Amino acid sequence: MSVPVPPAEARAFARTLADDLPWTLLDALQRGDARRDDLSAATGQPVTIISRALEQLAALGIVTSRASDADPAHVYYQLRVDQIRTLSQQLLIALHPTLILAEPVPSAPLTLARRPRVLFLCTENSARSQLAEGLLRQISRGMVEAASAGTQPGTVHPLVVELLGDVGQDLRAKHVDRFQGQPFDYVVTVCDRARETCPSFPGAERQAHWSIPDPAAAEPEAQRRAFTRTVTELSQRIRSLLIFIEREQRAAAMEVTR
């Protein structure tokens, strides 16, 4: 019996990942959204070479991009995990039908050796960062200490209060200065203005950026849909972050026992 030929996109996916640079870029982007100059600095490759590799990945739908809210001349690149999964599945099915990837199963409770601390930053601490804080607290079942703040605090959006309900957090906008000097395992900027205003946070063991549109900027009649999309995207990203945190703690524990 002959082996079926995978779709052209899946074959292009396999050819692209045969080179080291695309692998390196995917590894960098799974840690957070980045601009071309960020990726150039991380890989040591010129921006022109990075741009060509990103074009390849974008053509496959693996990577998408959006202009910065702070400066449209800056473009942030981010992974599309759903497309990576689809192409990987097509390749595996072509090799043998029993290799089909299983559907995601509900995540098991976190097994963390210690309670990590995560701080989400945006400009006003009125929507995205507040949602991220509440969602992390819910999804981790309190196993992660979550906080949020803004570089220019405003007023928390009513839809945030409605969507989060009672998650045990202070739904008032807080200034980032409140957390200066405190250690965090992760500091995540969830808006482009905060990322470019606060590119580094003293005390952050790791820092990442998620380029997420402001749902409060949508037209009034579309705001509820925009907030729902934001909750969906943040939930997906938070689940990925928790996987990283759990793996890092396991790796650290193994190093201690060696």
Active-site option among 63, 191, 194, 226: 191
51 is catalytic: no
| CB contact at 8 A, 252 and 152 | no
198 is catalytic: yes
Host H or E run for residue 79: strand 75-79
Host H or E run for residue 121: strand 117-122
| CB contact at 8 A, 154 and 105 | no
What tokens appear for 164 in the block? 């989060």
74 is catalytic: no
In angstroms, rounded to a whole number, what is the distance separating the alpha carbons of residues 236 and 155? 26
Active-site option among 122, 127, 149, 176: 122
**Residues near 209 by beta carbon (within 8 Å), at least 6 away in sequence:** 32, 33, 34, 76, 188, 189, 190, 192, 195
Catalytic residues: 122, 191, 198
